[in-house]
Amino acid sequence: MVQKKVPMRQCLGCREMFPKRELIRVVRSPEGALSLDFRGKAPGRGAYLCGRPECLKKARKSRAIERALSVEVPEDVYSALEKQMEEGAHDE
């Protein structure tokens, strides 16, 4: 049986490669709206972060999400990311 290739993506904070399913995706829709995509199926340009809060801080400080998506990231997207990371830490 042929083993399926696992798609890998790079975290914008720590720059490490992870399987796509383990990362949180921030997506810019074709209309320009930003949202979090947990299923990885939403149409648009995606930027990925692993679940570590320090990676979000690094990406925020270096404006990596803005550069990756070519759009200004509103505060509510950052707070949604922080909330998701806190929930993820409790799941483990």
Residue-wise pLDDT for 28-74, tens only, equals 999 999 999 988 899 999 999 998 999 999 999 999 999 999 999 99
More confident: 24 or 86: 24
The DSSP symbol for 41 reads -
Angstrom distance (rounded) from CA 67 to CA 3: 35
Residue 92 has pLDDT above 50, yes or no: no
Angstrom distance (rounded) from CA 87 to CA 70: 28
The answer to whether 76 and 47 have CB atoms below 8 angstroms apart is no
What global pTM score does this model have? 0.85
Per-residue tokens: 89: 């830490």
pLDDT of residue 91: 52
Of the pLDDT bands very low, low, confident and very high (cuts 50, 70, 90), residue 2 is confident
Radius of gyration of the chain (CA): 13
